[in-house]
Amino acid sequence: MLDDNKPAPLESPLLSDETGTIRHGFFTRKGGVSTGIYRGLNVGLGSNDAREAVLENRTRVAGWFAQPLERLATVHQIHSPDVVTVDETYDGRRDQADALVTRTPGLVLGVLAADCGPILFADADNGVIGAAHAGWKGALTGVLENTIEAMIALGAKRASIRACLGPSISKASYEVGPEFVARFLETDPDYARFFTPSKREGHSMFDLPALTLMRLERAGVEAQSLGICTYPDDERFFSYRRTTHAGEPDYGRQISAIAITG
């Protein structure tokens, strides 16, 4: 039976705009029509879920912003540092990138995740927003900094930008091997602080949210995290790693989205 409840996204006080011109939400599984392993609000066009269900779910997300599906802008995410700027000419094309920025009212910027970090950005003073998908590779190679620079190119001011990291995998659930750790330490030995030895010899627990917040703060923007881990909470969130450990054939994706409403 299809779930006809309405989406109920999480919100961040840091991104709340007193003027009401910017709206945002970190959407959960609640309020979707997908069933089975995709139960709920699966918006992943790359999943093997029924396409009509995914499109209905995406329509519900856009509707939460009082916009039609055609105004929901997303990209084909590839774990890159690349950012796309969209405007009133947006035609639904999903470029290969991992972040979007705009100053166009009525466009809903969305990024998908299932453990990776969804980050929403807002400069309410200057009317510029952004959304980024940052797994370890995107965070390490600059997708956060590039999103900020793309916002500045549209008229945002660094000191006015606020950013929030939504639900993503936490240190307690993210075990990695020695080759993974070595990659980070080759980039910056100081990154050792994001790793703690795990119970398995030679393995470590990786704090992706802490890395994300550090990169945002070093980039000069005020940032916060919702502090919610996707891995243990299968009622509210999809998780790639949980799916892998359970031996399931596929997984859904939740969306985090932001729009200038007026």
Helix (H, G, I), strand (E, B) or coil at 225: strand
With a cut of 70, say whether residue 213 has pLDDT above it.
yes
DSSP structure class, residue 146: H
Overall average pLDDT of the 71-88 stretch: 98
Domain boundaries 13-170+207-260, CATH class: alpha beta
- The residue-averaged pLDDT of 114-133 equals 97
Phi, psi of 129 (to 5 degrees): -130, 165
Question: pLDDT tens for residues 165-196?
Answer: 999 999 999 999 999 999 999 999 999 999 99
pLDDT band at 103 (very low <50, low <70, confident <90, very high): very high
Percent of the chain predicted with pLDDT > 70? 98
Q: What confidence tier does 135 reach under pLDDT thresholds 50, 70, 90?
A: very high
* Cβ-proximal residues to 182 (8 Å cutoff; 6+ apart), any chain: none
Sign of the CA dihedral running 34, 39, 40, 41: negative
Residue 19 has what pLDDT? 76
Exposure b/e, 39-58, CB count within 10 A at least 16 = b: bbbbbbeebebeeebbebbb
| Residue 257 bridge partners (DSSP) | 25, 110
Handedness of CA 233, 235, 239, 243 (dihedral sign): positive
The per-residue pLDDT for 262 is: 75
Structure-token pair, residue 103 = 């100053």
> What does the mean pLDDT of the chain come to?
96
pTM value > 0.85: yes
Q: Which residues pair with 76 in a beta bridge?
A: 96
* DSSP type of residue 243: H
Enter the tokens of residue 259.
């729009």
Tell me what pLDDT residue 4 has.
53
Q: Is the pLDDT assigned to residue 18 strictly greater than 80? A: no
Phi, psi (deg, nearest 5) at residue 65? -95, 5
Do strands 117-123 and 162-165 pair parallel, antiparallel, or not at all (unpaired)?
antiparallel
Q: Give the span between the Cα atoms of 33 and 11, in whole angstroms.
A: 22
Q: What percent of the chain lies above the pLDDT cut of 90?
A: 95
Q: What angle do CA 106, 130, 152 make, to 5 degrees?
A: 110
